[in-house]
Structure 1
Amino acid sequence: GVRTGAVEVSADGARLAELVALVEKGVLTLRVADTYPLADAAGAHARLAEGGVRGRLVLVP
């Protein structure tokens, strides 16, 4: 009953630029619930643990 999966991520500036263009055109929409400074990552985790978050919590440097 145990499942595993793998995710591989590699840097690709050109593909990221394509995504940015789609967001700017409104083709892709983003739902950001809140942003937190990287130094407050623990606060972001606590907020997620509370539940009810609609959207993503974003850590910013």
Structure 2
Amino acid sequence: MRDGGARVTARPDAVPAAGRGVRVAAVQVHPDGERLADLVALVDGGLLTTCVAEPHSLAEVVKAHARLAEGGLRGRLVLVP
């Protein structure tokens, strides 16, 4: 993350200490199909972008976990059913 950037997490207990001017925040997440549909529309419309480093099938979960432990990823690993 660049200096002066921002990080938001859905795990309030995992918020890192702020440093290098990085803003940090945690959000509470609750199931909401209507809002999820709104987010999907934003992604489909190009107004919200995602950064997926590597997709993996559920059968490759061990491989995905090992890859995550290696570090150096730009983006997230996604498990696809």
SS state at 2:48 partner: coil
Structure 1 segments unaligned to the other structure (5+ residues): none
Bigger share in strand: 2
1:44 lines up with 2:64 in the alignment: yes
CA RMSD of aligned residues (A): 1.9
2:47 paired residue number: 27
TM superposition score normalised by structure 2: 0.62
TM superposition score normalised by structure 1: 0.80
1:29-61: per-residue Cα shift (whole Å, max 9, x none)? 011111111111111110011110101100011
SS state at 1:34 partner: strand
Higher relative contact order, chain-length normalized (CA < 8 Å, sep 6+): 1
Alignment length, in residue pairs? Answer: 58
Identity of aligned residues (%): 63
Structure 1 segments (4+ residues) deviating >4 Å:
none
Bigger share in helix: 1
Structure 2 segments unaligned to the other structure (5+ residues): 1-11, 14-26
